[in-house]
A and B are shown apart, each in its own frame.
Chain A
Amino acid sequence: MTPTEPATVPAARSAAVRPPLPVKMVISGGFGVGKTTTVGSISEIEPLTTEAAITEVAAGVDDLTHTPRKTTTTVAMDFGCLTIDPTLKLYLFGTPGQERFGFMWDDIVEGAVGGLVIVDTRRLDDCYAAVDYFEHKGIPFAVAVNAFDGRVEHTLEEVRWALDVTDGVPVLVFDARERGSVRDALLVVLELALARTEG
């Protein structure tokens, strides 16, 4: 009950609240690679979880018709956000890990300015689907090797070779637990996205 309240409340109610412009980035990679940790390190809120529907396209290995079989699966998706200023808010969505399946994240990813594919060098193949997805969608992305316990088992050149990403895709090492490290990894992706608008 501050003295200003009676004056400000009616004004706030009559004028529509202008929401911030949302800018979306996607944090992707295999299961247990550190996506939620990454989101939590930079988010101003504890990462939230919601259920999202994804469409899995199973490769037609055991299907004589070779017709891709689509199934819709509900999966948990973690996300967080960071207010840049009252008119601009960055959202970070972690896509759940999917191994062995192609996947369609359109429901989450459509409209994203960029993506970060997190890699555990002990399980490189877990991130192929994410790399393929961003390449296919033409979304700017970087490959971020999560240095668990400060150790990386392959050089960045080996990772680049193994993932077969082009020179235009940055490959970097970061620590998902460190806010500054996550910030810098996101900045690499944003600079890439910016360069694309100017190129």
Chain B
Amino acid sequence: MADGTPPPDPSGPDAVGPASAVRPFLVTAGRVAAGGDGPSMPVETQVVATAEGLDALDRLAFERHDIVAVCRLPQSIAEIAARLRLHLNVVRVLAEDLRAAGHLTVHVPDSGVVHDASVLRRVIEGLRAVPDSRGVLSDTD
């Protein structure tokens, strides 16, 4: 702050300061997901880009662009958040926006999976086939 150099006014239109971290919910215009009554979109919810979404990539900006781009292959909400370093709830809000715009499909898992014996059996069989560090299969009785 040398004499004659006015301190920058942080509220002024020309304020130039160190780039501050963007508050997570600035990108969602202040909206938050799951307003108190539990999550509407579980962390493992699968998200896939649509052909329309990929066509529109050039017209999407910032986080929206990145989410559609990373969802060329199915991704969970948690994976998107981790790969793009976004807050989980920011991803939830933006994924819902992008779904409404037709850029993504969002596949909220059926909560009945927890009680679906056939699904559990498939997971068990698949897991048993995972070799341990020495390449030995799990004992299948």
Kindly state the separation between the CA atoms of A179 and B129 in the bound complex, as whole angstroms: 12
Contact with B along A96-120 (1 / 0, CB 8 A): 0000000000111011110000000
B115 interface neighbour in A16, A81, A197, Cβ under 8 Å: A197
Contact with B along A52-93 (1 / 0, CB 8 A): 110000000000000000000010010101101100101101
Complex contacts, A90 vs chain B, CB 8 Å: 123, 126-127
Among the 9-residue stretches B10-18, B61-69, B93-101, B131-139, the one with 4 or more Cβ atoms under 8 Å from chain A is B131-139
- Give the shortest distance, in Å, between B116 (CB) and chain A (any CB): 7
Kindly state the separation between the CA atoms of A16 and B76 in the bound complex, as whole angstroms: 16
Inter-subunit contact B38/A82 (CB<8 Å): no
Closest to A113 in B: B114
Q: Say yes or no: is A27 at the interface (Cβ < 8 Å to chain B).
A: no
Q: Say yes or no: is B23 at the interface (Cβ < 8 Å to chain A).
A: no
Interface size class, chain B: 35 or more
- Give the shortest distance, in Å, between A78 (CB) and chain B (any CB): 9
Q: Does more than half of chain A's interface fall in helix, strand or loop, or is it mixed?
A: mixed
Inter-subunit contact B117/A194 (CB<8 Å): yes
Closest to A14 in B: B51
Kindly state the separation between the CA atoms of A21 and B123 in the bound complex, as whole angstroms: 11
Within 8 A of A (CB), among B50-92: 50-51, 54, 73-74, 76, 78-79, 81-83, 87-89
Q: Say yes or no: is A24 at the interface (Cβ < 8 Å to chain B).
A: yes
Inter-subunit contact A110/B38 (CB<8 Å): yes
Inter-subunit contact A53/B88 (CB<8 Å): yes
Q: Say yes or no: is B43 at the interface (Cβ < 8 Å to chain A).
A: yes
A22-B44, A197-B116 known; A179 vs B138 contact (CB < 8 Å): no
- Give the shortest distance, in Å, between A139 (CB) and chain B (any CB): 8
Complex contacts, B114 vs chain A, CB 8 Å: 111-113, 193
Inter-subunit contact B43/A19 (CB<8 Å): no
Q: Say yes or no: is B128 at the interface (Cβ < 8 Å to chain A).
A: yes
Complex contacts, B89 vs chain A, CB 8 Å: 53
- Give the shortest distance, in Å, between A166 (CB) and chain B (any CB): 20
Q: Say yes or no: is A165 at the interface (Cβ < 8 Å to chain B).
A: no
Kindly state the separation between the CA atoms of A181 and B87 in the bound complex, as whole angstroms: 33
- Give the shortest distance, in Å, between B78 (CB) and chain A (any CB): 6
Within 8 A of B (CB), among A181-196: 181, 183-184, 186-187, 190-191, 193-194, 196
Within 8 A of A (CB), among B29-58: 34, 38-39, 42-48, 50-51, 54
Inter-subunit contact A187/B39 (CB<8 Å): no
A107-B39, A186-B127, A187-B124 known; A198 vs B138 contact (CB < 8 Å): no
Interface residues of A (CB under 8 A from B): 13-14, 16-17, 19-24, 42, 48-53, 74, 77, 79, 81-82, 84-85, 88, 90-91, 93, 106-108, 110-113, 178-181, 183-184, 186-187, 190-191, 193-194, 196-198
